[in-house]
Structure 1
């Protein structure tokens, strides 16, 4: 029994070191962590989502997120496997929330703030669904390049026109229009990918 615990502690140390190396973008460390964690994480995801195809997609997303998040891993806060499970669980929850499609318009100026009066007249379950959809959309906007993100956030949160956004960001109007159009195209791609 003591040997198992010592082996487990050694594994945790090895895995923490792998994550440190992944943070330095060492591909072989990533491959080794994948070999150690892919089966148990896949099993976890498959139980959570009850869909093998979705589980494979989420597993891939989880390892992409692990690769990108490795520099922020803090061994004093959690064991390596627990940290990876937490990342995976969040992706599973996001995927379940995303089962209901959110539509993204081609017109960036249609992303105006929701009228509070109309929002309060909705059935509470509709409000929760709308809030979840807006939260998903905001998360996706956060992942856009800066000029696209800032211009879309000003349109969505403050209802600014493209000219007002141009003035506020001190960017040429044409650049704002291009940034918003490209941001909308990226959002549509992200939405489509999250519902496949």
Structure 2
């Protein structure tokens, strides 16, 4: 059965076709979700939410605007970002003990891999104050560039330029 035939059956609310769709895409979507959340149970929950959204919103898919996989991938990505920004997710992360992170240091002994685990913020503190604030918003707090623009009350284009310059400066610091 082709994807087009499968979609036709799903539009008719055929549950067997939807099961086939799940079998076809669930592993790929789970991989994307898990890479963002890094938590098995939460990733499974989000995956389930994603397929419910796909089922309920299938009528909003427009073939002329892009591929079906891109559409469901965006649903998965947005649902995962919503989960990352949720209060319950943030509160559960605050309560993790340091034992959960020991494997990061034991797994790979190269200096490069330890930078992320033990002190990327130390390197960021060497940047200009405007870079520190921007990187904090974009990378540690998960703001979009548009949201950072609004928070800092500067134009979006300025945020994009400063982001590029700050990352370039950070790379220079890390290479030393």
TM range (shorter): 0.3 to 0.5
Q: Which has the higher contact order (CA 8 A, sep 6+)?
A: 1
- Provide the TM-score with structure 1 as the length reference: 0.43
- For normalisation by structure 2, the TM-score amounts to 0.48
